[in-house]
Amino acid sequence: MHAPVLLVIAHGSRDPRHAATVHALTARARSLRPGLRVETGFLDFNAPSVPRVLERLHALSTSGDSGAPGAEEVVALPLLLTRAFHAKTDIPSVLREAGARLPRLRIRQAGVLGPSPLLHSALEQRLYEAGLTAADKRSTGLVLASAGSTDPEAIAVIAEIARELRHTGWCAVRPAFASANAPGGFPRTGDAVRALRAEGVDRVAVAPYVIAPGRLPDRIVAGAAEAGADVLSEVLGASPALARLLLARYDEARAARALPLSA
């Protein structure tokens, strides 16, 4: 019996850098586990769409070309850092609709990527690539800049990650959003940089807590530049730690006793 297919579900973007980064990340995950079938689907803007990928997998299972008889098992992994609207509503709806139409698929939704120590590793690796060293942390204030959300659970997760990072040696850590302030949310990137300066922090680094480039990550870059941040790291992208995290969430979903979405 072959392993379930890993279907990585990305949001999609009109910015071509987004899809290119997602494909690079899934290719890295594929290289870490030879023999595992890894597919990529998008909710919007990019092809292939999630329903189209699932239709193709269903056709393969029907024809027998998937390599094993019976239903095709699929682990659908949201390429998201927090549990917000897409993870709670959008993606489950798409998967349930597809499962109802495609009876030979057994689809299980994996958990979102965050929080995870592997994300901390990827974030710090990007900062080191931008020129910081581990010894710099004690004299550097860090702005953890995420895309933004109005979801209380997502906001709470970002706040907790900022607190955890503060205990890894940074002299201060402030969460920020790329989008406009939301109720109960955080300041924009530039405002967070200025707040650290006002507290007497001489060196400020901005770390985009996002996976791929696009409109909101570009706002993080613009905010960091406008406020005069000293260091700006790249998005998490196709980092080795993030690729390992995809596989970890896949394994967790396989081991879970929860019923598949299509059951």
State the CATH number of the domain containing residue 68: 3.40.50.1400
Query: Rounded to 5 degrees, what angle do the CA atoms 126, 81, 137 make?
Result: 35
Mean pLDDT, the chain, whole residue set? 93
Lowest-pLDDT range, 43-47, 67-71, 123-127, 230-234?
67-71
Distance CA 88, CA 85 (A): 5
Residue 123 lies in a domain: no
Domain count, the chain: 2
Q: Are 82 and 153 spatial neighbours (Cβ–Cβ below 8 Å)? A: yes
178 by DSSP, 3-state: which? coil
pLDDT for 68: 52
Quickly state the pLDDT bin for 179 (edges 50, 70, 90).
Answer: confident
Greater pLDDT, 31 or 62: 31
Residue 48, token pair as written in the block: 């292939």
pLDDT at residue 258 tops 60: no
Residue 174's DSSP bridge partners are 143
User: How much is the average pLDDT of 235-248?
Assistant: 98
The answer to whether residue 119 is domain-embedded is: no
Are residue 35 and residue 20 in the same domain, yes or no? yes
Same domain (yes/no): 64, 146:
no
Both 93 and 155 in one domain: the answer is: no
SS3 (DSSP) at 34 = coil
- 3-state DSSP assignment of residue 38: strand
Residues 142, 146, 152, 153, Cα dihedral to 10°: -90
96 and 136 assigned to the same domain: no
**Domain-located, residue 87:** yes
In a domain, 56, yes or no: yes
| Spatial separation of the C-alpha atoms in residues 263 and 259, rounded to whole Å | 6
Tens digit of each residue's pLDDT (9 = 90 or more) over 110-128:
999 999 999 999 999 999 9
Residue 245: C-alpha distances to residues 28, 29, 32, 103 (Å): 11, 9, 11, 30
Cα 98 to Cα 92, 137, 263: the distances in Å are: 10, 47, 12
pLDDT of residue 180: 66
Residue 77 lies in a domain: yes
* Domain membership of residue 96 as a residue range: 5-113+239-255
Whether residue 97 is found in the same domain as residue 14:
yes
**Residue 142 and residue 186 share a domain:** yes
What local confidence, expressed as pLDDT, does residue 174 receive? 97
> Tell me, what's the pLDDT at 150?
87
Q: What is the pLDDT of residue 259?
A: 47
Do 224 and 203 lie in one domain? The reply is yes
Task: Report yes or no: 177 and 188 within 8 Å, Cβ to Cβ.
Answer: yes
Query: Are 93 and 135 contained in the same domain?
Result: no
Is residue 262's pLDDT more than 60? Answer: no
pLDDT score, position 86: 87
Q: Residue 244 domain-assigned?
A: yes
In tens, the pLDDT along 192-229 reads: 999 999 999 999 999 999 999 999 999 999 999 999 99
pLDDT of residue 30 exceeding 70: yes
> Does 126 fall in a domain?
no
Q: Are residues 228 and 243 in the same domain?
A: no
Same domain, 209 and 138: yes
Predicted pLDDT at 184: 62
Residue 19 belongs to a domain: yes
pTM for this prediction: 0.93
Q: Do 220 and 208 touch, CB atoms closer than 8 A? A: yes
Residues 225 and 243 in one domain: no
Which two tokens mark 16? 């071509």
Q: For position 85, what pLDDT does the model report?
A: 84
My answer on whether 109 and 136 are in the same domain is no
d(CA 107, CA 40): 15
Q: Is the pLDDT of residue 108 over 60?
A: yes
CA–CA gap between residue 51 and residue 43 (Å, rounded): 9
Question: Among 81-95, 126-140, 232-246, which stretch is predicted with the lowest mean pLDDT?
Answer: 81-95
Residues comprising the chain, all counted: 263
